[in-house]
């Protein structure tokens, strides 16, 4: 079976603030803007639909990225002096969780959604 998630609705208090945040931190670009709804391209197949609403729940988004992109995200988070942490219960210690298989961080976006970003570590025997 072939199944792909192609669009995910991200509830927002302010879709413009969310769009700009995702652009600065992740490099995501918007591809469509109407009223208070913005479509943001994550990659060739996945898009976020940033949709403003008054009542919403906070979501937990988990992304696996390559090592280079992980460093790019960390660099942008540090440039903006944002809080991040190495544990879901410690989002302000500004540490990266490092194991033998992956690097990982957690942080909160402007709409209080929790992001978990990790990169599998490539084994490179010397």
For range 56-83, the mean pLDDT: 94
Instruction: Read off the pLDDT of residues 12-36 as tens digits, 9 standing for 90 and up.
Output: 999 999 999 999 999 998 888 887 7
Residue 98 pLDDT grade (very low, low, confident, very high; cuts 50, 70, 90): very high
The model's confidence at residue 55, banded by pLDDT at 50, 70 and 90, is confident
Contact 70, 117 (CB under 8 A): yes
Q: Shortest CA distance to 8 belongs to which of 47, 36, 63?
A: 47
| Domains (range + CATH), the chain | 1-54 (3.30.720.120), 57-126 (3.30.720.110)
Confidence of residue 123 (pLDDT cuts 50, 70, 90): low
Binned at pLDDT 50, 70 and 90, residue 107 comes out as very high
Which residue matches tokens 């410690």?
Answer: 90
Those residues whose C-beta lies under 8 Å from the C-beta of residue 3, and which sit 6 or more positions away, are: none
Q: At what angle do helices 15-26 and 67-79 cross, to 10 degrees?
A: 120
What is the mean pLDDT of the segment spanning 89-117? 95
Tell me the mean pLDDT in the region 119-123: 83
In this prediction, residues 93-109 reach a mean pLDDT of 95
pLDDT of residue 54: 83
Residue 6, pLDDT > 80, answer yes
């Amino acid at each position: 079976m072939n199944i792909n998630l192609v669009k995910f609705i991200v509830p927002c208090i302010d879709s413009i603030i969310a769009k700009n945040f995702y652009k600065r931190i992740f490099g995501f670009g918007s591809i469509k803007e109407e009223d208070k709804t913005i479509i943001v391209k994550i990659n060739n197949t996945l898009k976020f639909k940033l949709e403003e609403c008054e009542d919403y729940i906070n979501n937990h988004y988990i992304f696996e990225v390559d090592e280079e992109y992980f460093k790019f995200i960390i660099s942008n988070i540090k440039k903006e002096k944002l809080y991040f942490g190495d544990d879901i219960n410690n989002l302000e210690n500004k540490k990266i969780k490092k194991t033998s298989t992956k690097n990982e961080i957690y942080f909160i976006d402007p709409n209080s959604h929790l992001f978990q970003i990790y990169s599998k570590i490539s084994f490179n025997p010397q």
